[in-house]
Structure 1
């Protein structure tokens, strides 16, 4: 597949956009896909959002890459992936789909709307598209480092080989863009954007998400530029998510093609087990979320994690029935695609307070983050088995410690981000946390031959192989700028 960032055909864009037709959470976007006309913005918006979620929660990208790198899961048969031997097909699909489908759709919305008479509805729809683009660009910058940004989609200028922008500069542009969209969204309260599959077009909810994404970006750069992070977080935290009612997620349905992309409603998924890394720690603290995160093993109906990266060729490895698959809800056809949730915001604020920012008490935000996560999963699964007493006992086992904030907040934020593999991986490498008290939480793959360029955990994904030949000059400049196109090359904000 060529690397050139080209416009997809109208037919393919329409197909992507209408894949969610029939979802009761969306506006009615039925139309005639046989007409060779340019796709309308509402179809492009729904298509971009669903295409992004489908990729972020695919077994190929989330499962074989991100859930391994976050060490939430361990592989059953394809154990090379859990030893960081990146599948280039999966890597290529991630890059190409985010640029060619998702970001291209969103950029097309902005261009189309800019040629029409200005209305509040178009202003909000354009703002939603731009906030959505910021969400995606941050994922790309956190996964790869320097990425094409300012020169992408300049097709009128004949630019088919875009340069790579410095990732720190991308962050600055994202913050500026989000700030501008907040002004538009807050200035158009009550206006609804057509085609939005996340919040059904609510300008107020998208403004809250934009504030919350500002926090995500700022805390990730806190070790590299603490002063700027402090300024942003203190300015935006009061307008960010304040309850689980604000969560940004795409609701999937138990009907094709609108099912959660990695579900076992039609077949068993034997590819992954819950890692012993996560399982053992959650068991040690009596975490009430564990029966939701994992299901009992087939052999003895017990919750058992598999040591990370245990090769299937190892004769000492027990049979697959010995270990626990991910939980029933995690593989449900109606599992939501999470963009960002309230628990993450509270853990961001807990860390911000621990760093001395003026956002309230770290311990309070930390406790709020845990409670928000537990409550989210309890309500999502209609679980009556999680009682207030259980939550109180759990909180007593994982108390906040100011002297050990990086490990304490890091472990609980990591657990709250499950099954958001990419966000869990980004936070693992950024905070470089251990168990509270300082004992190691994560382990290197326990057997088999590892990728020597990332012997413990990758800090980034390597660029596409095709970039080296088809966009060679830009690739060479980017690889040199980041310190080498290796999995072990740290991102600009990785200081620990």
Structure 2
């Protein structure tokens, strides 16, 4: 992917991102911050991509919330988050950034483009913006449940938007993606700059849209199996089919364009890797372990910390005795992963296990998913020690078992999604899988939950405290509709 320098700026309640696409164009971005509507479409796209990725991979949101709920990491000195005490500031930043920055930028992009809809490239640009919006809206629906959707951008006429039913939002997102797939035209241009994910490659955006259809469909596989089957069988052939087509945001090694949680300037001591992750990877000889994890500083042992262990417990060893996230995971150039080939293959493995026609059997797609994940990491880290023999030996230790497909696929998909905390958390609550064979993989917080509505894992985040006063009627209707605004309330597709 062509390297692009970008810079992000927030402006008031309706913040708009201004971004750079080339070192040579730095001076071009000296814009009046009081006039956000002057931002051109390519800058709005970059801003939306970066602001979303920054939230998805921030230590505050990904680290303290999602990586904890996926049980990849657990807190060191700050352990309340691992015991499900939600930091409302982190929660508000997540919601507000995705709505007021990312989605607002994309809506503004489309509105600006609508005035020149007959110009070459504009339909492709709008389609790319709407695909990006669909990706973000699904994250919000999977994080909170019912969300503002149909009235989101009526800020001049409606400052208290209603919350739409999450299942209805899913249907709308599927419709949106299908329309963009039909609109995208590889014979026409799109963005000459500003698209950090695919550099304006229309063919790859179409593959991503098909892949996002698969992600939406597999989430509803228990709640709406026939609809999920119809969508997956119609779109699997046109989805991402190699690591070369992965959708990711390439960060750079220079501020302010670095991976949002990196240890270039200072050591990061907030998290230990959980014993849940390390113990399982060691038990099957997973070759990704040295990439995912750094051993303890005191004795170079891959020692995981039991999840949710309070710092006040005197039985805990000193922090340096526990393993920490790997060098690549804390690298300033770590890509922000939107969706990759391995995830697509695991979706197809599950689809095949459920009896869907996806071109190959579940075992084949399952094996493809594992290979895709290992290949991704060994190429990203230039790790020549992971050779084909090692991969083959590993596959023999984690065979596909049809009668145990939920546990087998779920566990390997969970490993492959690291460090995509949010997606891994969503899949953990949806598939509710154990280790292959049925033994528990996850544990309740060792020092107990601090949230009376949650024992093992939150199913959602609670709505913002500010919504209870600023959008009171809509908030109360939404809370009632989903069964209560608690982290223990299951999402619509988790009730099966």
TM over 0.5: same fold? yes
CA–CA distance in 1 between the matches of 2:252 and 2:214?
Answer: 30
> What is the CA distance between 1:348 and its match in structure 2?
0.1
Q: Which residue of 2 aligns with 1:75?
A: 75
Structure 1 CA distance for aligned equivalents of residues 13 and 455 of structure 2: 44
Deviation at 1:8, TM superposition (A): 4.8
5 Å-filtered alignment, 1:215-234, equals 215-234=214-233
Mapped partners of 1:309, 1:61: distance in 2: 17
Pairwise mapping of residues 281-300 of structure 1 onto structure 2 (< 5 A)? 281-300=280-299
Q: Residues 78 and 41 of structure 1: is their aligned pair in 2 closer, same or farther, counting only changes over 3 Å? A: same
Deviates more, 1:321-330 or 1:35-44: 35-44
Q: TM-score, normalized by length of structure 1? A: 0.95
SS of residue paired to 2:29: coil
Q: CA deviation at 1:188?
A: 3.7
Over 3 Å counting, the alpha-carbon distance change for 1:137 and 1:192 in structure 2 is: same
2:292 and 2:451 map into 1 onto residues whose CA distance is 29
The alignment status of 1:201 with 2:208, answered yes or no, reads no
CA distance in 2, matches of 1:143, 1:52: 14
Following superposition, the deviation at residue 17 of structure 1 comes to 2.5
Aligned to 1:150: 150
Per-residue deviation, 1:448: 4.7
Report if the CA contact (8 A) 1:265-1:332 is conserved.
yes
CA contact (8 A) 2:341 2:372 kept: yes
Structure 1 runs not aligned, ≥5 long? 1-6
Q: Distance in 1 between matches of 2:13 and 2:70?
A: 37
Aligned partners of 1:394 and 1:30: how far apart in 2?
A: 51
TM-score by length of 2: 0.95
Report the alpha carbon displacement of residue 409 of structure 1 after superposing the two structures with TM.
Answer: 0.1
Partner Cα separation in structure 2 for residue 183 and residue 343 of structure 1: 25
Question: In 2, distance between residues paired with 1:44 and 1:81?
Answer: 33
Measure, in 1, the Cα distance between the counterparts of 2:248 and 2:26.
Answer: 19
- 1:315 equivalent to 2:310? Answer no
- The within-5 A match list for 1:42-441 is 42-156=42-156, 158-185=157-184, 187-194=185-192, 195-359=194-358, 360-441=360-441
| Contact persistence 1:21–1:29 (CA under 8 A) | no
Residue pair 1:11, 1:34 contacting (<8 A) in 2 also: no
- Do the aligned partners of residues 471 and 493 (structure 1) sit closer, same or farther apart at CA in structure 2, a change above 3 Å counting? same
What is the CA distance between 1:76 and its match in structure 2? Answer: 0.3
C-alpha distance in 2 between matches for 1:389 and 1:163? 55
Tell me the CA shift for residue 193 of structure 1.
1.8
How far is the alpha carbon of 1:115 from its aligned partner? 1.2
Q: Which runs of 5+ in 2 are unaligned?
A: 1-9
Aligned length: 483
- Are 2:98 and 2:136, in contact at CA under 8 Å, matched by a contact in 1? yes
